[in-house]
Amino acid sequence: MQKILRVLFHDLKNELILERNSLELLKANSTIKEKYSIINNLLEHNSHQLNLIKEGSEYAHKTFNPIKIESINIENLINNIYKQLFDDAKAVGINFYLKNIREGNVISSQFILESSIKNIIFNAIEHSKCKNLKIKTSKTTYSYIIKIIDDGVGIEDIKNIFAPYKKKDKNNEGLGLYLIKSQLNNANGRIELKNTKRGTTFKIFLLIDNSY
């Protein structure tokens, strides 16, 4: 926890220093074109700060609130997420669809599982530059497997992608995937990631509730 907070505050401090420098330039004599460029930089820094605060808040919420482990109808959960995010994908021209969603219940945390899947899908919508995005599922005797597959540009430095503050692409870094992995590990799940010839595939493995 201390390590994450130290990194978070360090990054926020750096962003504020960059903003202050930009404001000093804006205050000085500069052309309209230069002012426009500086304002764009300020907006980018502001967006990054908001993302850092959001991720820090999510980390604190998940760390200090007890995890509720329960039986979850996974088909209903995936369908609800699909309905919530379909318009976001459509707005940027992404064909978002479901394939082979198997019935069944898993033993996990509703909050952690839902937020993890949404986070991965949001990242794909915003950063993967994909045309197609799908959720596909399969089952083994003891595991329910959720696959989130896109045909985008892939992810750089995939070996270290689940470490805190490793870049997901050139313009995006943070706690997101680190939180997903650590929280799923605490909720009877695990996550894997691989780049394919046509994009990225996330796999979430969950414990099946065989009492249903």
pLDDT band, very low/low/confident/very high, at 188 (cuts 50, 70, 90): very high
What is the C-alpha to C-alpha distance for residues 105 and 111, in angstroms, rounded to an integer? Answer: 15
Structural contact between residues 68 and 111, judged by C-beta atoms closer than 8 angstroms = yes
pLDDT tens track for 68-122 = 899 999 999 999 999 999 998 999 999 999 999 999 999 999 988 998 998 899 8
Task: Give SS3 for 125.
Answer: helix
| CB-count burial class (<10 Å; 0-12, 13-18, 19+) for 32 | exposed
pTM over the 0.75 mark: no
Q: What is the pLDDT of residues 47-74, one digit of tens each?
A: 766 666 766 666 666 555 678 899 999 9
Instruction: Give helix 32-64 / helix 2-27 axis angle, nearest 10°.
Output: 160
Question: Which residues are within 8 A (CB) of 111 and not within 5 positions of it... i.e. 6 or more apart?
Answer: 68
Tell me the average pLDDT of the chain: 81
Taking each helix axis as running N to C, give the angle between helix 110-127 and helix 176-185, from 0 to 180 degrees, rounded to the nearest 10. 150
Minimum mean pLDDT range among 29-33, 58-62, 149-153, 186-190: 58-62
